[in-house]
Amino acid sequence: MPSMNRPMRRTRLGLLSLLALLTGAPSPAWAQAPAALKNQAKAAAAKAQAKTPGAPQTQEVSDVLKAPRPKGGEYFGLYLMDKKVGWFFTDLTALPGNKVQSINELIFKAQVGTRVSERVHREVRVYEAKPGGKLLSFTVTQKGDGGDNELVGTVTGDALRVVRKRPGQPDEVLKPLPLPKETVEDADQARVALLRGQKVEGVALDGTDLEGYRTVTTVEAPEEQMLGGVKVKLSRVSTLSDKEKVPVAAFLTTDGKMVRVDFGQTMQARAESETVAKRLDLVEVFGLTRVVLPQPLPAKAREVPGQVKLVMKNLPEKFQQDTYRQKYKRLPDGRVEVTLMAAPPSPKGRLPRPVADPDKGENLKSTLAVEADAPAIKAQAKSIIREEKDAYTAARMLSAWVYSNLQKDYGASADRATDVLRQKKGDCTEHSLLTVAMLRASGIPARRVDGVIYMVNSDGVPALYWHEWVEAYVGEWTQLDPTFNQPVADATHFYVGYEGNAEITPLIGALQVTDVK
Cα distance between residue 289 and residue 295, in whole Å: 18
Amino acid identity, position 40: Q
Output the 3-class SS for 458-484: CCCCEEEEEEEEEEEECCCEEEEECCC
Q: What are phi and psi of 120, to 5 degrees?
A: -115, 130
Query: Contact 132/185 with Cβ under 8 angstroms?
Result: yes
pLDDT score at 258: 92
- Strand, helix or coil at 30? coil
Cα distance between residue 335 and residue 310, in whole Å: 10
How many Cα atoms occupy the beta-carbon half-sphere of 425 within 13 Å? 11
Output the 3-class SS for 75-89: EEEEEECCEEEEEEE
β-bridge partners, 311: 337, 515
Q: What are phi and psi of 191, to 5 degrees?
A: -75, -30
Cβ-Cβ contacts under 8 Å for 214 (sequence gap 6 or more): 201, 202, 203, 241, 242
Query: Contact 282/109 with Cβ under 8 angstroms?
Result: yes
How many Cα atoms occupy the beta-carbon half-sphere of 459 within 13 Å? 9
pLDDT score at 501: 67
By C-alpha distance, which of 439, 339, 365 is closest to 211? 365
Cβ-Cβ contacts under 8 Å for 121 (sequence gap 6 or more): 16, 23, 105, 106, 108, 140, 141, 142, 207
Query: Contact 274/265 with Cβ under 8 angstroms?
Result: no
Query: Contact 23/104 with Cβ under 8 angstroms?
Result: yes
pLDDT score at 506: 77
User: What is the longest distance spanned by two Cα atoms in the chain?
Assistant: 74
pLDDT score at 10: 31
Query: Contact 153/137 with Cβ under 8 angstroms?
Result: yes
**305 preceded by cis ω (within 30°)?**
yes
Cα distance between residue 425 and residue 409, in whole Å: 6
**Would you say the C-alpha torsion 422, 427, 433, 439 has a positive or negative sign?**
positive
Helical (H) or strand (E) element with 339 = strand 336-342
Query: Contact 76/259 with Cβ under 8 angstroms?
Result: no
pLDDT score at 58: 56
Round the CA-based radius of gyration of the chain to a whole number and report it: 24
- Strand, helix or coil at 244? coil
Cα distance between residue 374 and residue 161, in whole Å: 18
- Strand, helix or coil at 454? strand
Query: Contact 240/263 with Cβ under 8 angstroms?
Result: no
Query: Contact 206/18 with Cβ under 8 angstroms?
Result: no
Q: What's the pTM value of the predicted model, to 2 decimals?
A: 0.78
The DSSP-derived string for 107-148 is: EEEEEETTEEEEEEEEEEEEEESSTTPBEEEEEEEEEETT--
Segment-wise mean pLDDT, segments of 10 residues, the chain, 517 residues: 32 36 29 39 46 55 93 93 90 96 92 77 96 97 88 94 93 94 92 87 91 88 81 86 84 89 85 92 80 94 96 93 96 95 94 96 95 97 97 98 89 82 90 97 97 88 93 98 96 89 78 94
Instruction: Fill in the DSSP letter of residue 284.
Output: B
Question: In angstroms, what CA-CA distances link 77 with 248, 307, 458?
Answer: 16, 42, 31
